[in-house]
Amino acid sequence: MKRRDLLTGISAAVLPSVLLSHSAHAADRSTAENGLIPVTLGEPFKLSIRSPEIDVSREWKTDGNGTPEPNGSMLSPIRIDSGLLNLNRSQNLTATFDLAVQYVKNIDFWVSVALFDDEHQLLGAANHRVSLELNGGFIELNGQRITLDFGRSSAFKRAAFAAISISDRSE
């Protein structure tokens, strides 16, 4: 995928809220309010980001589960628990994320990440498709590790914040 297409795709999911908060920036605004997560290259960071909820009522009726889902028929099939940004000697940046994934129906989600410096200037973006395929009709919970490749740039060494989202682009 061309970097230009990637930046166009990620801008719809992540950048509007970041740019809006940047234009209305106040000195006391915290990173939590503007959606940015502080990151340090080479150091793991904890996350708790959930995908949009989807309706799984039909799957619960047909998969042989005798007990309904405790939270009803809506659940978030993907949760990001932790991440790590690595910049190698060639200035190639990768991000690794640990996910908890519930395979509840055949659907695609996208994990999108945009990186910013201390002044909230965009340094780069990457995304990764997570395809969920229901195997044999039973809902499963598994761990998964994904890696996103941002490409090469000497600017990546200034990475200070990340905006991370999980979106359902199948509809």
DSSP string over 61-120: HHS--SS--TTTTEE--EEEEEEEEEE-TT-EEEEEEEEEEEE-SSEEEEEEEEEE-TT-
Burial of 48 (0-12, 13-18, 19+ CB in 10 A): exposed
Quick: pLDDT tens for 28-73.
334 444 679 999 999 999 988 998 888 777 666 555 555 555 556 7
| pLDDT beyond 90 at 150 | yes
**How does the average pLDDT of the chain come out, rounded?**
76
- Cα 164 to Cα 11, 105, 111, 136, 158: the distances in Å are 12, 23, 7, 31, 18
What pLDDT was estimated at residue 97? 95
**C-alpha 153, offset from chain centre:** 21
Q: Which two tokens stand for residue 1?
A: 């995928």
Domain spans of the chain, in order of start: 3-168
Greatest mean pLDDT range, 26-35, 128-137, 140-149: 140-149
Amino acid at residue number 157:
K
Query: Residue 164 forms beta bridges with which residues?
Result: 113
Q: Is the pLDDT of residue 121 over 60?
A: yes
pTM of the model: 0.72
pLDDT tens-digit series, residues 63-103:
555 555 555 677 788 899 899 999 999 999 999 999 988 87
